[in-house]
Amino acid sequence: MMIKLPHSRLAAVLILFLLLIPVNIFSQGFFSWAIHGGLFYFAADNGVNSDPAPILPTLGGSISLRLTNYLRLEFTEDIYFTNYEYNTEYNYPMASNPENRSAFVLGFITGIQLTGVIRIREEITVRVYGGPAADLRLVLLAFGLNHPSDFTGNIETDARLQTNAIGKYFWGEGRMFMPVFGAGMDFPINERFFLGFDLRVWFPVYKMWTNDQTPAIDGWRFGAGLRITPRLGI
């Protein structure tokens, strides 16, 4: 015997079914999510003419798939922003203070990593992880630069020319690829959530194939932060 449903009811049943699939998956612990925030340190050694290497606040999140009791596949996203100028002497961008800015950079550090999970006590876990990552940067003319003196036609002083050069540098020769390695620990803070602490480092592997004449420390990223994870699915 077949039960015929009006199209509207059939659509409602299908939508409810599709909504329940992810809820069921998360409830079974196959997937878990986390939100995290912290500080990134952009290491740099550009000489006396450089602004200090920036320490930037970040915000992000992650979704992980449990492969086994001790292994996960995790997708992460971290967002940051800062100002840049273009150094014409060394032909590469440098993070700058607002007074020297030419470009505003909004960065999306996207990673896919394998995470090993070790339970050291009943509800305390240690995570070790690593994998490929990319810094996908949106490069825009810095806000507030609209005076004729900001556009001289000379790349040493022209904000638009510098912004174009910064974008070309960041997106050229695979400089967006930066593998990540990190470790963290999670503690229960209440009946619903874990609090985690993470340390991460991103490697500027592009230096292996580019001709960048930059100091050895330049391009390295270091991060420290906290994350909140629901106890469900851990």
Q: Are strands 133-141 and 103-121 parallel, antiparallel or unpaired?
A: antiparallel
Topology of domain 29-230 in CATH is Porin (2.40.160)
**The pair of three-digit structure tokens given for residue 146, joined into one six-digit string:** 């609209």
* For the chain, domain boundaries: 29-230
What's the average model confidence in pLDDT over 89-93?
A: 85
Which range, 10-14, 22-26, 94-98, 157-161, is most confident? 157-161
pTM of the predicted protein model: 0.82
Instruction: Report DSSP state, residue 45.
Output: -
Q: Tell me how many degrees the CA angle 132-57-197 measures, rounded to the nearest 5.
A: 65
186, HSE (Cβ side, Cα atoms, 13 Å): 24
Name the nearest CA neighbour of 111 among 230, 232, 221: 221
Q: State the pLDDT at residue 25.
A: 45
Q: Place 142 in a pLDDT band, splitting at 50, 70 and 90.
A: very high
Indicate if the pLDDT at residue 1 is higher than 50. Answer: no
If phi over 0 gives left and psi between -120 and 50 gives alpha, with beta otherwise, what is residue 131? left
Residue 155 makes CB contacts below 8 A (sequence gap 6+) with 86, 88, 161, 162, 165
Residue whose entry in the numeric block shows the structure tokens 């999670």 = 186
**Digit-coded pLDDT (tens) for 175-217:** 999 999 999 999 999 888 999 999 999 999 999 999 887 888 8
- The helix/strand/coil state of 28 is coil
What is the spatial distance between Cα 49 and Cα 55, in angstroms, rounded to a whole number? 18
